Amino acid sequence: MLVLILTYLPSLLCGIHAVRSGQQMYWLWILVIAPVLGPLIYVFAVIVPEFAGGRTARGAARAARQALDPERDYRAAKQALDETPTIGNRMRFAQAAEGLGRWQEAEAQWAQSVDGPWAEDPAVLMGHARTLIELGRYDEALKRLEQLRALGREGETPQAQLALARAYEGLGRNTEADAAYRACVDRVPGLEAGGRYVAYLARVGRKADAEVGLAELDRRLQKIAPPLRPEARQWRDLAAGALARM
């Protein structure tokens, strides 16, 4: 009996805190079914940020909430758009849909946003191009990126160059794709640009160059802070997978 009491005591204390502080009621369910892990998650997701209040703590809380409820932001964005269909809410919903890989939904929102007074907004053009690339509609994506480049410096950002490289690659314009990849590979934060470039090199048969690029990705991966390493590793694995398929 004493063991049972001690096992559920952390859940009881966290449950009292959850009720008094107005937390979402799904926390009570988590605390009941996971009397050991649940309180640990609750402490780091809710209590620590309350005391710390810093950016890192808030980020940890968001990550924990996202892991427990990955559609939370999507639902909130959809409700906001339904209630107030502003351009800001439409963009927010499109980005939330992208986060879940719902590219068709995201593209529909960007397509509506790009018509009318926001037709030359860099964020809207970039968002629409990004979703079109994910859907394999490279011709349309390239048109959006060319519109973005016509605006000046907004079309020369590393992220825009990476999108341009992917569009060119999708269209089989390999010379232009290679130049665009090289223009952004060391400028985009993280390993995405490098991983995509190595995967491109593997797909076009440049095995030796791809192997050198993969070795560089491995070297850079080891220098990335451990909390950020899983996100970076996916791009390294993308490159390694393309090389293995040669």
194 and 232 Cβ atoms separated by less than 8 Å: no
Specify if 173 maps to a domain: no
Specify if 105 maps to a domain: no
Specify if 216 maps to a domain: yes
Specify if 34 maps to a domain: yes
Average pLDDT, the chain: 85
Q: In this predicted model, what pLDDT tens digit does every residue of 179-192 receive, in sequence order? A: 999 999 989 888 99
Counting the structural domains of the chain, the total is 2
Q: In this predicted model, what pLDDT tens digit does every residue of 94-150 receive, in sequence order? A: 999 999 999 999 999 999 999 878 888 999 999 999 999 999 999 999 999 999 999
Helix axes 229-244, 192-203, angle to 10 degrees: 0
Band of the pLDDT at 1, cuts 50, 70, 90?
A: low
Specify if 129 maps to a domain: no
Residue 97: its pLDDT value, please? 95
Q: Compute CA 131 distance to the chain's CA centroid, rounded to the nearest angstrom.
A: 13
DSSP 86: -
Does the pTM exceed 0.85? no
Using CA atoms, how far residue 194 sits from 207, 232, 233, 235, in Å, is: 15, 10, 11, 8
- Tell which of 33, 48, 68 closes a domain: 68
Specify if 233 maps to a domain: yes
